[in-house]
Structure 1
Amino acid sequence: MEPLGVNPHQVDVWSLPSWAECEPGTPPTLPPQPTPTHTSPPFPVNSIINKKICLWSGDITRLTADGIVHSTNETLNERSPNSDNLLAKAGPKLKNELYDNIKYCKTGEVVITDGYQLSTRHIIHTVGPRYNIKYHTAAETALHYCYRRTLEKAVEKRMKSIALCVINAVRRGYPPDQGAHIALRTVRRFLEHWGEQLERVVLVAESIDISIYQLLTPLYFPRSPREEQCACYLLPVDLGDDNGEPFIADRQIRIIDNPQHKYQEHYPLPPLEREEMRVLECDVTCSPSVVDILVVCVRPTRRLSLA
């Protein structure tokens, strides 16, 4: 029998088994004589971090935690089963705050409200990106910041426990497996740097995602040398920077005098101006999809004489 005043449908996050307490499953079978992607485990066994992590499948509004995460759209009025369920259970005051006061949240950003009628102190609302294969780097970066800023906000508000939903949505075209990689490595890196601030992080996955998280979580949170070894073979090459953010290499763009330029073919430059042409170099940090090559013909400014 539940104590008086306790909702029997609520689940205390501290009652959930930690990742460290879950028995490792059967490790995946590696191909014969495989070549490892990483020569050493990118994420070593860390029992302290593993005790903070929980993997759970269910309705996030049932969890009793300091904070839960709500994935929504830019105008905070997304119509989806999860959003409708959360807004209905939290009560009309949450809708009033979102629609009348906050009104908007950019992709990759977060806003925070009270939990109102839910069994949580705070709700962190965030907007996941739409996925387009042509701009996948931008989508990966935005998703990384959804998770990272959510965790940063939890630390800022001195939360000890937080329930993270799957922010990348299939309805926005985001591949579930790629989204899980971003989520897991961002959480892992955050706990490596600021783990002392959070004591419990519950990864809440629905039926469509839970099998993916069960498969990938051991790669980022290994519990044994065997899981470490598997991670060396199964993790992707690009694991982002120290924070888990997708890495974009600086690309050097050279601005040169192109002798084949059509302008010069039809309108040759005077000899003096040809001698004053210069080769300019600059370092630009950008997505490969944004800038591929830039060729500019530079002409010096002429001085005008009024004599």
Structure 2
Amino acid sequence: MPLGFLLRVHRASKYGTALSSLTTVSPAIKIAVNLSSIGTLTAAYSKGELKPARVEPFYAHNNAINERVSLYRGDMTKLAVGAIVNAANRSLLGGGGVDGAIHRAAGSDLLRECRTLNSCATGRAKITKGYNLPAAHVIHAVGPIYDDDEADACEEKLQSCYQTSLQLCVENKIESVAFGGISTGIYGYPLDDATHVALRTTHNFSTRTRASRSIQRVIFTVFLQIDVDSYKKILPLYFPPAEEATRATSPPAPVETDKPAAAAMTVPDNSVPNQTVVLDEAQPMSQVEETEVATLRPADDDDELHPMSQVEDIGPVSSHT
């Protein structure tokens, strides 16, 4: 069994257990996070909060797309968007982690509607209303349980989750959608591999599908520093900055001096320190002021578990430098 899988399962299980006894909900947490407060990739590059890739990007810069993509660190259940994408299990009846938190925040009407959907196949997604959530809709995507021996099939199913979710947005005239990590919790999908699938599928859908222009914003929601690091590392490969931004964040050229050439120093590219903005690791809810606390029941084996409920809502990644 992969070490990464064990680490993420342990982390998710630990948070699920630690939060099970906390039931107080602060009224202040009902405030929704509006789309206007979440910066785009263009803004993140211009502020130096996202750095250009050190290798050749997979795609050319496209400002129109960069203006429609965001990276956000915080609680998905507070986002006032057209839809949030729930990493659901096949039953669609709720579970632990993010799935359970979404069901609790939405209220019992969400469960009632989910019961009418008669489950969902792996790699597919179904849509419901958002009910008590700030989001108008919830898209329930069922990711694959990762298997090293079936890596290609798992990738196809994960890609289908994102593709189906985006298509549901187009069909339902949803202009903004927020994704969390699908299958990267207890389902064991390697984090960086899953990030590549999410970004590649979104980029391809945005550029190859004319109807996709109706989606004005795609938000990738992250919670832990490991998730932040993965997206900040891989985003520039699929959504690179403009040349101007690349030049602005490149290391300065060596300054010429009157010293002999032999004494002049040049810094090789690989010695330039990584300037990735470091965001504080999310803290347990018991240490966070004015953060929504949701009771987590022990997770079912079929649950897609993420420790979202213990994350401090610190807002857009671009607001933390």
Are 1:131 and 1:174, in contact at CA under 8 Å, matched by a contact in 2?
yes
Cα offset, 1:227, TM superposition:
6.0
Name structure 1 gaps, 5 residues minimum.
Answer: 1-5, 31-37, 231-307
Are 1:219 and 1:227, in contact at CA under 8 Å, matched by a contact in 2?
no
Identify the residue that residue 127 of structure 2 maps to in structure 1.
112
Q: Which has the higher strand share?
A: 1
Identify the residue that residue 212 of structure 1 maps to in structure 2.
230
How many angstroms apart in 2 are the aligned matches of 1:28 and 1:97?
44
Which amino acid is the alignment partner of residue 214 of structure 1?
K
How many angstroms apart in 2 are the aligned matches of 1:88 and 1:73?
16
Are 2:53 and 2:240, in contact at CA under 8 Å, matched by a contact in 1?
no
Identify the residue that residue 203 of structure 1 maps to in structure 2.
220
The structure having more radius of gyration, on CA atoms, is 1
1:128 aligns with 2:137: no
1:224 aligns with 2:242: yes
Identify the residue that residue 161 of structure 2 maps to in structure 1.
146
Question: Structure 2 residue aligned with 1:170, among 182, 185, 190?
Answer: 185
How many angstroms apart in 1 are the aligned matches of 2:128 and 2:52?
41
Identify the residue that residue 96 of structure 1 maps to in structure 2.
112
Which amino acid is the alignment partner of residue 100 of structure 2?
D
How many angstroms apart in 1 are the aligned matches of 2:246 and 2:189?
27
Which amino acid is the alignment partner of residue 64 of structure 2?
I
TM-score normalised to structure 2 length: 0.62
CA distance 1:122–1:26, change in 2 (3 Å): closer
1:61 aligns with 2:77: yes
1:11 aligns with 2:36: no
Are 2:125 and 2:142, in contact at CA under 8 Å, matched by a contact in 1?
yes
Could you tell me the percent identity over the aligned residues?
Answer: 31
How many angstroms apart in 2 are the aligned matches of 1:29 and 1:161?
30
CA RMSD, Structure 1 to Structure 2 (Å): 2.2
Matched residue of 1:102: which SS?
Answer: coil
Name structure 2 gaps, 5 residues minimum.
Answer: 1-27, 251-321
Q: Which has the higher helix share?
A: 2
1:160 aligns with 2:182: no
Are 1:67 and 1:121, in contact at CA under 8 Å, matched by a contact in 2?
yes
Are 2:30 and 2:78, in contact at CA under 8 Å, matched by a contact in 1?
no
Cα offset, 1:203, TM superposition:
0.8
Q: How does 1:178-193 map to 2 (within 5 A)?
A: 178-193=193-208
How many angstroms apart in 2 are the aligned matches of 1:129 and 1:221?
26
String of CA shifts for 1:156-175, please: whole Å, max 9, x gaps.
00111111111122311110
Cα offset, 1:78, TM superposition:
4.5
Identify the residue that residue 260 of structure 2 maps to in structure 1.
none
Aligned residues: 214
